[in-house]
Structure 1
Amino acid sequence: MAQSTTPRNTAQTTAQTTAQTTVPTAAQTAAPIAAPTKARIISADCHVNEPPHVFDRVPAEFRDRTPRLMRGEDGGDGWSFDGKPPKRTYGVEAMAGRAKDEHVASGLRFEDILPGNYDGAAHVADMELDGVDVSVVYPANAIFTYQAADRALAQACMLAYNDWILDEFQAADPSRIVGLPMLPVDDGMRAATAELERVLAAGAKAAFLPGNPVRPYHDPYYEELWTAAERNGLPLTYHRTFGGKPQETDWDNVANNNFSAAGTVHRFFSSTRQLTYMTLAGVFERHPGLRMVVGEVNFGWLPFWAQTMDEQFENQHSMGTLQVNSPPSKVLGEQVFVTVLDDRVGFDLVKSGRYPYLAAAAMFSTDYPHSVCLWPNTRKIADELTRGLDETDAERILSGNAARVYGV
């Protein structure tokens, strides 16, 4: 196994990264533009970039095979899951603080990225700078455990990640950070529900599912998981196509460094298949307490999707093909939610007053620290997006919906 680029000892790593981390560009030291809004803001979609010690808690039998942060061929640092140089290095996933003309697809080293990527206290400090009150935090490279062939190792790494995100990152300020532990849904419902119960006891407020599970989420295979989440009042979330093997036709596989503008655009529309099948298969109707959040898909497309589902509900009502008894769009804002960035089309639709479910289903987000993130000007952008919006609708989108679903 090749050596990792940074020490594996937690205390040593923390000391080293604290000492060596510098702000990469002048843009990162610039103060955010002031905005008049004083509304509470919850970012329902932020991310970590895991530190080198994230998998240190795996049992001894796996420690010589755990993923490592390593130097890549382009001189940057990235995660290796097979002992070979990483397929891609830090770039688009760690752009917070860089001006748009300074963005790079890859090539950054660990010391080039903001400490808020991997240190909970630094993350809260960046929230303060941005005017964000609560951050819901998704994983990053740890999601590739869903693709690993060695499932025993993969599960051990997932559990180690879950311990890190809850016991270390979220623990920096549990009132302001909602860490999302990962559920091993591809490894049987016994494993998935057992981990749900374990992380719930450890302080989890929600749990993460892969965007590309081995079995689609309308499969009866998941009934035990939906029941457990509903019984425990634990919201579940998946993030675009994040986690699991991509579809064979999806050339834009970020894991293989096939990153493109086209793929970024496409993934904003990637949730329709999953949500349509789940809704029309009756998953939400059978489990009225189940709440599902879909990350980073925006909401300008929701009216057409809702219209199309309801049309087919009416068209096939007498055919005996339906598994639902109520108009499918009813789930929006009650059980199904989406996170949104600066989706001006979506905000204009809310202002039109024609689609009341939009304000009930949307959760504002900054996507810190990714390339499309709003940091550090979130307050200014939020004020622009909500100008002219009904005060109640603005509050629901900026914080109310996330507060209701995540209990923060």
Structure 2
Amino acid sequence: MTATAPELNWLISVDDHVLEPGHLWQTWLPERFRDRGPKLVIGEDGKGTWHYLDQQQRASGLSATVGRDKSLISPDPLGYDEMRPGCYDAAARVQDMNQAGILASMTFPTFPAFCGQTFYRGEDKELGLACIEAYNNWMVDEWCATAPGRFIPLTLIPLWDPEKAATEVRRVAERGVRAVAFSENPEPLGLPTINDPSGYWDPFFRAAEECGVVICMHVGSSSQIPSINSNTNFMANLSWGAVRTSGTMLDWLFSGVFERFPNLRISLAEGNIGWIPYFLERAEQVIDKQRFWFQRGVDYDPGKGSKQQRTDGGSHTIDYLNFDIRQSFRDHVYGCFIDDVAGLGNLDLIGEDNVMIETDYPHSDTTWPNSIKLARDRLAGMSPAVQYKILRGNAERLFQFTPSDTAELPVPDGMA
């Protein structure tokens, strides 16, 4: 019997964004918090500003570019009435997804920032936790429930309390959530690193592992843009952005976290994948040359020119004499790309099981409305089985997600 050919006219995007509708916290927060909760205030210029405690935030024009000509895109604030409705309305988003061949979408937040930094910065942590719980309830019960099988829920945690974070992971996991946002580098936020000797983040990591929840880290979730030097302009720095994601990958692989939590998985959103083969190769070279003295517990700071005994806890859980960093990558790390010819050209060095695709709707890097057509063009020449993994299979497996039946959906534009 001939096997059925995989269906390749649809993709699952593991990195899109939502601009939260104005009613979110005023509807989903418990009533006693609503007066102090986030409010969207429309100004005389017709543009909305989010107000929360002492923070104010407007939507950047780069966050809602879909449907706009490239020549008209700028960082200047946009009003919600100037945006395509799919930016903030789930039903309208589904229509746009149908057009571009996006079977399902995972959406990162906007006002809370990529991993909830807005609520972490607020002094009232009781209110902050309530806002996070409200966001997560809205994500599951309104945004995703609008079109079952079309959205992968991504939730937030209270970054300031790993025990409460663990509680929230378990709460949402009971509701079917298998993705949680976290910072690519907590240190610039004023939080302990994942290498913290006391195991600060371990309660959160343990809960994520036990519940099969993937830790998803979006580029920029450290609230930083890397700067090549003090005079480098924005275009150069933005082009250099993958340096953040490569640092995140290496930090996790060398941290000992995966040795302590062997079933934990991470996803690196909007970091692209072309750099992965080089950094894995370089890491192998470093391990080969330096592992013996490092394994003995000696550390060396070239800036100080002296050696000292290491005090970090995490790295001691790694047996560097037998450490296979490529296997650790294959077991734990998933790279995500929007459009990366170099990365796909080196897929054999990355691994077909560790790569997922994104469309970045509605941000300025988005491939919408040509998402599936561009993806199929970039994947041409690969076997149908490999194409299927990258387009949707890996995401379905990682996030334990069953999407809608494509037979019940309209054929995407250009795929008839």
Structure 1 length-normalised TM: 0.81
Aligned AA for 2:369? P
Alignment equivalent of 2:143, drawn from 169, 173, 196: 169
Q: Which structure has the highest strand share of the two?
A: 2
For 1:362, the equivalent position in structure 2 comes to 355
Alignment equivalent of 1:221, drawn from 189, 193, 200: 200
Cα distance in structure 2, aligned partners of 1:76 and 1:138: 22
CA deviations over 1:261-282 (Å, ceiling 9, x no partner)? 3443233331222322221121
Cα distance in structure 1, aligned partners of 2:44 and 2:277: 45
CA deviations over 1:240-287 (Å, ceiling 9, x no partner)? 122x554897999xxxxxx94344323333122232222112111221
Cα distance in structure 2, aligned partners of 1:89 and 1:172: 24
User: Are 2:10 and 2:372, in contact at CA under 8 Å, matched by a contact in 1?
Assistant: no
Cα distance in structure 2, aligned partners of 1:303 and 1:344: 13
The reply on whether 1:78 has 2:49 as its aligned counterpart is: yes
Quick one: structure 1 residues 221 and 329, their matched pair in 2 at CA, closer, same or farther if it must change by over 3 Å? same
CA deviations over 1:188-216 (Å, ceiling 9, x no partner)? 22200110111112231211113342122
Cα distance in structure 1, aligned partners of 2:372 and 2:149: 20
Q: Which moved more, 1:100-109 or 1:157-166?
A: 100-109
Cα distance in structure 2, aligned partners of 1:120 and 1:371: 19
User: Are 1:184 and 1:192, in contact at CA under 8 Å, matched by a contact in 2?
Assistant: yes
How many residues are aligned here?
359
Alignment equivalent of 2:31, drawn from 60, 75, 79: 60
Alignment equivalent of 2:13, drawn from 37, 43, 46: 43
Cα distance in structure 1, aligned partners of 2:12 and 2:393: 8
Compute the displacement of 1:380 (Å): 1.4
SS at match of 1:172: coil
Compute the displacement of 1:93 (Å): 0.7
Cα distance in structure 1, aligned partners of 2:47 and 2:241: 26
The reply on whether 1:95 has 2:74 as its aligned counterpart is: no
Cα distance in structure 2, aligned partners of 1:167 and 1:233: 21
Aligned AA for 2:327? K
Aligned AA for 1:202? R
For 1:312, the equivalent position in structure 2 comes to 286
CA deviations over 1:343-393 (Å, ceiling 9, x no partner)? 11112222xx4x1x3422211110011011011101210121111223333
Compute the displacement of 1:331 (Å): 2.6
Alignment equivalent of 1:299, drawn from 255, 273, 276: 273
Compute the displacement of 1:337 (Å): 0.6
For 2:369, the equivalent position in structure 1 comes to 376
The reply on whether 1:341 has 2:338 as its aligned counterpart is: yes
Q: Which moved more, 1:287-296 or 1:233-242?
A: 233-242
Aligned AA for 2:398? V
SS at match of 1:271: helix
Aligned AA for 2:217? Y
Aligned AA for 2:330? G
Alignment equivalent of 1:329, drawn from 304, 326, 329: 326
For 1:25, the equivalent position in structure 2 comes to none
For 2:404, the equivalent position in structure 1 comes to none
Quick one: structure 1 residues 65 and 43, their matched pair in 2 at CA, closer, same or farther if it must change by over 3 Å? same
Structure 2 length-normalised TM: 0.80
Alignment equivalent of 1:207, drawn from 177, 180, 183: 180
Compute the displacement of 1:239 (Å): 0.5
Higher alpha-carbon Rg: 2
The CA RMSD over aligned residues, in Å, is 2.5
Quick one: structure 1 residues 249 and 384, their matched pair in 2 at CA, closer, same or farther if it must change by over 3 Å? closer
Cα distance in structure 1, aligned partners of 2:39 and 2:270: 28
User: Are 1:147 and 1:245, in contact at CA under 8 Å, matched by a contact in 2?
Assistant: no
Quick one: structure 1 residues 141 and 211, their matched pair in 2 at CA, closer, same or farther if it must change by over 3 Å? farther
CA deviations over 1:43-81 (Å, ceiling 9, x no partner)? 111111000111122233432222222346976323233
Cα distance in structure 2, aligned partners of 1:67 and 1:358: 42
Cα distance in structure 1, aligned partners of 2:227 and 2:374: 36
Aligned AA for 2:219? R
SS at match of 2:369: coil
Cα distance in structure 2, aligned partners of 1:145 and 1:262: 30
Alignment equivalent of 1:236, drawn from 202, 215, 219: 215
User: Are 1:76 and 1:106, in contact at CA under 8 Å, matched by a contact in 2?
Assistant: no
User: Are 1:142 and 1:161, in contact at CA under 8 Å, matched by a contact in 2?
Assistant: no
Cα distance in structure 2, aligned partners of 1:386 and 1:245: 33
SS at match of 1:79: strand
Quick one: structure 1 residues 250 and 348, their matched pair in 2 at CA, closer, same or farther if it must change by over 3 Å? closer
Identical columns (%): 30
For 1:119, the equivalent position in structure 2 comes to 89
